C-alpha cells in the first residue's frame, strides 16, 4: 500500500534499501529528496540544498533541464528500448557520430555500455582479446598506478588501488595485476615514470595494457598529476608494445577545463572510457571507444567478436538524452564557466590551508579538494553540511566539490564557505 507519511517510507528505506558504501545494520542517515531543479535539491521537509556533487559528477547541466527533459519526452513516444543485438536505431548512431567527432581522430569505434564500471570491463576485454587474437595469449595482465579507481565490478576492482582502495577484502578472488607508485610531479619536471618503465621491461610479455585516469585520480583520492607523465607513458606503451587505456569516466566532457583530459597532454589512447556526464546525469550510459588498430587486432584470428553484450546496451532513451546533453554542452560557454569555477575555487578554498587539520588544498578545473590529515566522521559531517544548506559528501580524508557547470558565483560561495566554516569548527575542537 502507498506510504502515508515521509517517516514511514524513510523507515522502510532504512530497513530494506542498501545504499552505496553503507551498512544495513548501522546505516548512514539518508535525506529524502522531493525534487531537484537547477543546482538545488529540495528535501521533503521543504529545505533546499545547493548541490556540490553533481550527483557523483554526472549532472553537469544541473537538474530538470528543459532541453534534456524534452529529448526524453520526444524519444519515449517512439521507442523506449529495443535490443541492440541485430538491431540498431538513430539515437545510437547519432551518438556514435558525435563521440567520434569530439574525440581524437584515431578513435573511430564505439561500444555503448551500461555504466562506467562496465566501460572499464569492456576496455579490459578489448585489450586482452587484442593480444589473444594475435597468438600472444600470455598478455592478460594490466599495469596501473596506485591510488586509482576504475569501478566496482570485478574487472574494475582488480585495477583499483590494492592496499588503500575500497576492495581489499576481495583480493583473493580478483585477478592480480601490476602496480607502480602513483604519479608525483615536481616543479622541476621530475616524476616517477621510471617505475612504470621498469615494470614494462620486466613484464612486457604478460602486460596487455596500461590503464590510468588522466590528470585526475578520482574516487581513489582526488589526486592530481602533470601532463608530462601521460606524455612519457604514451611513449613507453609504444616502446614496449602495450595498449594504453585512459579512463575518462570522471574527467570527460569538460570537467578539467578541456573536453577530455588527454587533450592537455596532446596524446591519444588506444582505448578510451567515458561515462558519468555523458547523459548529463539523466540515465546510466557509458562508452568504450577504440581505434582501427585494436579492432583489426581483435579480428586477427578471423573472429573479431568482442565478448560482451549487455541487455540494455545502447538504450534509445539514454542515447537520445546523451545526444541532447552533448549538444547542450557544446552550445554553452562551458569553457569560460569551468575557468570561472576554477578561479573561484582557488580563491575561496585557499583559506582552508591555514587550518591545522588540513593537509592540502588543490583545484583542477571544476574540481575543488580539501584533504585532511585524518579521516572525517562521515555521519556527523554530512549532517553539518545539510544544516548549512549544501549537499557535499566527504569520504575518507577528503572534502571535495565537483559542482554543476551552471552554478552561479553566489551558490558556489555558499559551498566553499560551508566547507571552511565546518573545517574551522573541527580545527578549534581539535586544539
The residue from 21, 238, 373, 408 that is catalytic is 21
Contacts of residue 308, Cβ cutoff 8 Å, sequence gap at least 6:
111, 113, 121, 122, 125
Q: How many CB atoms lie within 10 A of CB 61?
A: 25
Type and span of the H or E element at 337: helix 334-349
Q: Which residues of 336-353 are buried (b: 16+ CB within 10 A; e: fewer)?
A: ebbebbbebbeebbebbe
Residues with Cβ < 8 Å from 399, sequence gap 6 or more?
369, 370, 372, 376, 381, 392, 419, 423
Q: Is 247 a catalytic residue?
A: yes
* Residue 238 annotated among the catalytic residues of the structure: no
Half-sphere exposure of 314 (CA within 13 A, CB side): 21
Category of 38 on φ-ψ map: left (φ > 0), alpha (ψ -120 to 50) or beta? left
Among candidate residues 247, 364, 384, 400, the one labeled active-site is 247
Count of C-beta atoms within a 10 Å radius of residue 15? 9
384 is an active site residue: no
Q: Is 276 a catalytic residue?
A: yes
DSSP 343-387: HHHHHHHGGGGGSTTEEEEEEETTEEEEEESS---HHHHHHHHHH
Q: Which three cell numbers stand for residue 429?
A: 575542537
Nearest to 248, CA basis, from 401, 95, 99 = 99
Q: Which of 98, 139, 141, 276 is catalytic?
A: 276
User: Cell match 585489450: residue?
Assistant: 127
**Grid cell for residue 330:** 557544446
Distance CA 347, CA 363 (A): 10
d(CA 178, CA 302): 30
- Which residues neighbour 350 within 8 Å (Cβ) at sequence distance 6 or greater? 361
Please state, as a whole number, how many other Cβ atoms lie within 10 Å of the Cβ of residue 368: 28
Q: What is the rounded distance in angstroms from the CA atom of residue 398 to the CA atom of residue 149?
A: 15
Q: What DSSP state is assigned to residue 108?
A: E
Give the residue among 135, 75, 109 at the shortest CA–CA distance from 315: 75
C-alpha pair distances (Å), 232 with each of 29, 229, 236, 242, 318: 45, 5, 6, 14, 36
The set of catalytic residues is: 21, 149, 247, 276
Amino acid at each position: 500500500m502507498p506510504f502515508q507519511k515521509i517517516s514511514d517510507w524513510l523507515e522502510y528505506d532504512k530497513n530494506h534499501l542498501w545504499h552505496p558504501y553503507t551498512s544495513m545494520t548501522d546505516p548512514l542517515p539518508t535525506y529524502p529528496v522531493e525534487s531537484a531543479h537547477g543546482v538545488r535539491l529540495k528535501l521533503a521537509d521543504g529545505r533546499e540544498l545547493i548541490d556540490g556533487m553533481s550527483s557523483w559528477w554526472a549532472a553537469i547541466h544541473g537538474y530538470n533541464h528543459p532541453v534534456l527533459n524534452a529529448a526524453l519526452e520526444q524519444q519515449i513516444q517512439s521507442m523506449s528500448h529495443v535490443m541492440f543485438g541485430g538491431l540498431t536505431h538513430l539515437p545510437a548512431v547519432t551518438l556514435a557520430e558525435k563521440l567520434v567527432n569530439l574525440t581524437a581522430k584515431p578513435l573511430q569505434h564505439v561500444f555503448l555500455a551500461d555504466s562506467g564500471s562496465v566501460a572499464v570491463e569492456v576496455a579490459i576485454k578489448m585489450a586482452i582479446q587484442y593480444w589473444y587474437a594475435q597468438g600472444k595469449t600470455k598478455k592478460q595482465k594490466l599495469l596501473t598506478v596506485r591510488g586509482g579507481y576504475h569501478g566496482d565490478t570485478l574487472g574494475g576492482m582488480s585495477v583499483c588501488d590494492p592496499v588503500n582502495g575500497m576492495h581489499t577484502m576481495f583480493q583473493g578472488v580478483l585477478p592480480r595485476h601490476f602496480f607502480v607508485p602513483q604519479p608525483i610531479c615536481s616543479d622541476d619536471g621530475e616524476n616517477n615514470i621510471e617505475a612504470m618503465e621498469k615494470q614494462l621491461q620486466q613484464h612486457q610479455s604478460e602486460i596487455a595494457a596500461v590503464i590510468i585516469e588522466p590528470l585526475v585520480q578520482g574516487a581513489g583520492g582526488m589526486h592530481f598529476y602533470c601532463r608530462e607523465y601521460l606524455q612519457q607513458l604514451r611513449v613507453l606503451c609504444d616502446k614496449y608494445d602495450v595498449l594504453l587505456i585512459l579512463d575518462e569516466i570522471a574527467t570527460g566532457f569538460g570537467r578539467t577545463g578541456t573536453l577530455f583530459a588527454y587533450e592537455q597532454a596532446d596524446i591519444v589512447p588506444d582505448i578510451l572510457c567515458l561515462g558519468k556526464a555523458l547523459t548529463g546525469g539523466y540515465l546510466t550510459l557509458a562508452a568504450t571507444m577504440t581505434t582501427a588498430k585494436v579492432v583489426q587486432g581483435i579480428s586477427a584470428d578471423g573472429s573479431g567478436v568482442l565478448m560482451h553484450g549487455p541487455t540494455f546496451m545502447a538504450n534509445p532513451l539514454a542515447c537520445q538524452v546523451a545526444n541532447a546533453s552533448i549538444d547542450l554542452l557544446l552550445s554553452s560557454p562551458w569553457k569560460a564557466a569551468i575557468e570561472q569555477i576554477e578561479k573561484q575555487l582557488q580563491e575561496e578554498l585557499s583559506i582552508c590551508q591555514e587550518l591545522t587539520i588540513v593537509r592540502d588544498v588543490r583545484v583542477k578545473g571544476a574540481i575543488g579538494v580539501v584533504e585532511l590529515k585524518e579521516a572525517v566522521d562521515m555521519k556527523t559531517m554530512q549532517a553539518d553540511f545539510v544544516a548549512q544548506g549544501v549537499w557535499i559528501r566527504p569520504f575518507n580524508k577528503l572534502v571535495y566539490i565537483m559542482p554543476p557547470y551552471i552554478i552561479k558565483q553566489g551558490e558556489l560561495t555558499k559551498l566553499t564557505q560551508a566547507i571552511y566554516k565546518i573545517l574551522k569548527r573541527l580545527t578549534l575542537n581539535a586544539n
